[in-house]
Chains A and B, each alone.
Chain A
Amino acid sequence: MAIQVPIKVFRYRPGTAPHFERYQVTVPDDATVIDVIEGVWAEHDRNFMFRHACHHASCGTCAVRLNGYERLPCIVPVTEALAGRQELVVEPLRNFPLVGDLVVDVAGFFQKQAASGLVITRAAEATLSGQPFAHSELFSQAGALEERAYNRFENCIECGICISACPTMAATDKFWGPAALAGIRRATLTTGDCQEKAALLALADSEQGVWRCHSAFECTESCPQDVDPGGAIMSLRREIVGRKVKHLFGAG
């Protein structure tokens, strides 16, 4: 069944005043909010700017503020987003420079993401939905069989939702931010190299690091991928303090 969805969207171009515009978009009743956003472009205004790619929460491009909260519109059903409301309200993420309409400039964010050097694949955990799986013989880069752990992509999809939700990011840009710190934390867990680990912890301990966080945990609350950046920041703090204490007593 097709339904009519009223949507109020943020419109903006450099040099003009930001404002909202209202549209009606027709989508199937099992559509998600990204279909409605795309419908604004397809049915009403081919100049409308928004980001999207995968439509299954893997690319991280489509994040917006939906009805006042950071969401990935590709995985929010329209019916859920409309429940108890007259219309959908869609705005760009906060704490990023605006480019146009729903599009924000993610360059600075990705530069920070690069700081940890964390590669986006990691060894898959020893269990899959609770069930153990056997060791693996996989094809190597040259196509020969070799024994190696299964790998998988990191949970963080670099969507920027935690940046938008973070009160510290709202106050200062001089903060690595939740996602990069979560990346630094993951990198400290995966590296076997002591020096590299020390360098990562020094990054986390720097002026832009974990001490800027106000422990609001908005990041953990809003992250669509259960990355728990807030928890990662707390772990980094404990590790940094632990090392300093050890050092103080001459054991470091």
Chain B
Amino acid sequence: MAAPHVIVIGAGSTGAATAHDLALRGLRVTVLERGEIANCTTGRNHCLLHSGGRYCVKDQESAIECIDENLILRRIMPDAMELNGGLFVALNEADLAFREKFIEGCEQCHIPYREVPVKRALEMEPFLNPGLLAAVQVPDGVFEPFRFCLAFLATARHNGAVVRTYTEVTELARAGQFITGVKVLDHRTGKTQEIGADLVVNATGPWAGRIAEMGGVEVPVAPTAGVMVTVDQRLCNLVINRMDKPADGDIVVPQRLTSIIGTTSWAILDPDQIEIPKAHIEKMIQKGRELIPAIQRRVTRGVGAAARPLIRKANTDEREVSRTFECFDHQRDGVDGFVTISGGKTTTARAMAEKAADVVCAKLGQRAECATRTTPLLSYRLFYN
């Protein structure tokens, strides 16, 4: 008997990692993506392979997810990352007061850290604000989002998955309480087509609510936008973070010959229409300069924005919402054969995939353990083989 067929909608980090996990467990997988791989949130994120340091005080569940996944990804995806670490720096008395909590948080979340004397920090990072009062190093890293997704998808394809880009899901096919497949518009040909499936996974990030709606169910995903400003100079080797609870413009991520300053956070309605407030760009430069005074507006290279697929909880302030993920089996809403995986981060994509694939396999009676923790990924370039 042929293995069950699963459709994964979306080829951002969540869909890419989910396709890989499912293919590795022996399922037949088809990925449907309306545009290029990683053309949305994943492609335009801050590229930070989180150590968890950013969340270790306020959101320890996320912090632990981050460090666990960080240490796994280092081993399975060596070729699409800069593994230089990150520094959390205190610039004023308030930051300094946060230091103890920060270190306690690192310990509670088993994040490796070391305190770096100020003089040494300035030797490591000569462009850092010379007035810094304390620095702590953690294993942050930098990934390249497009290639991050390609690596998962290259491996998925190697294990039999089919990846169709420029193929937009327009409807979900339904028979009684079952989702039986999808209707797509293939932009390459302009033709519509129905594709049957034993199960459909909704991995569309901030669009998850829209796809869920097609299936007649609701998911509490709140698209929350953020801006990043890239300057045309590499001014640090490590990721530079402000030692404080997460706030606007408190990270500078180096990438190639550039530095990316981020980010802000505001709720939006339509993730396809993000208008970047000019004030946010100025704020990034201004806050970035507190960390690295050499940052200048005139060498801005690119400005981007994307929408986080945050899971809405009772709480309303988007900075306070947990950055963890959730998998929804819509059977609980009376619709079977339909699963949504959303929230989370690119850093935790593999763990999200594991959770989604566990649910999918249980539903389909596919008995297979998750093997993605230890399976090395293929080179991203092999996606095109």
Query: Which residues on A sit within 8 Å (CB–CB) of B301?
Result: 56-57, 75
Given A54-B304, A113-B381, CB of A151 within 8 Å of CB of B126: no
Contact B384 A59 (CB under 8 A): no
B40 to chain A, nearest CB (A): 8
Also in contact, A56 and B260, with CB within 8 A (given A75-B301, A99-B188) = yes
> With A111-B384, A145-B114 in contact, do A151 and B189 touch (Cβ < 8 Å)?
no
Q: Which residue of A lies closest to B302 (CB)?
A: A56
Asked if A136 CB lies within 8 Å of chain B CBs, one says: yes
Stretch at the interface among B200-208, B233-241, B350-358, B366-374: B233-241
- Contact indicator B146/A30 (Cβ below 8 Å): no
Q: How far is the CA of A145 from the CA of B138 in the complex (A)?
A: 10
Complex CA gap A228/B182 in Å reads 47
| B247 interface contact, C-beta 8 A | no
Given the contacts A42-B273, A152-B256, A133 and B126 also touching, CB distance less than 8 Å: yes
Q: How many A-B residue pairs have CB under 8 A?
A: 184
| B255–A58 touching, CB < 8 Å | yes
Further contacts, 7 of them, CB under 8 A, given A47-B187, A133-B237, A152-B254? A28-B276, A74-B302, A110-B381, A111-B384, A137-B114, A138-B85, A143-B112
Given known contacts A47-B190, A111-B384, A133-B123, is B84 in contact with A53 (CB within 8 Å)?
A: no
CB pair A59–B237 under 8 Å, yes or no, is: no
> Is B39 in the interface zone, CB < 8 Å from A?
yes
Q: Are A49 and B188 in contact (CB under 8 A)?
A: yes
Stretch of B57-65, B71-79, B308-316, B337-345 contacting A (4+ beta carbons < 8 Å): B71-79
For A101, the closest partner residue in chain B by CB is B187
**What is the CA–CA distance of A239 and B377 in the complex, to the nearest angstrom?**
34
A139:B85 contact, CB within 8 angstroms: yes
Provide the residues of chain A in CB contact with B384, threshold 8 Å: 106-111
Q: Does B44 belong to the interface (CB within 8 Å)?
A: yes
Interface residues of A in 49-104 (CB under 8 A from B): 49, 51-61, 74-75, 99-100, 103
Interface residue? A189 (CB, 8 A): no
B276:A103 contact, CB within 8 angstroms: no
Question: B385 near A13 (CB under 8 angstroms)?
Answer: no
Set of chain A residues within 8 Å of B188, measured between Cβ atoms: 13-14, 49, 99-100
- How near does chain B come to A201, taking the closest CB pair, in angstroms? 21
CB distance from B78 to the nearest CB of A (A): 8
Taking each of A42, A47, A54, which has the highest tally of chain B beta carbons within 10 Å of its own beta carbon? Answer: A54
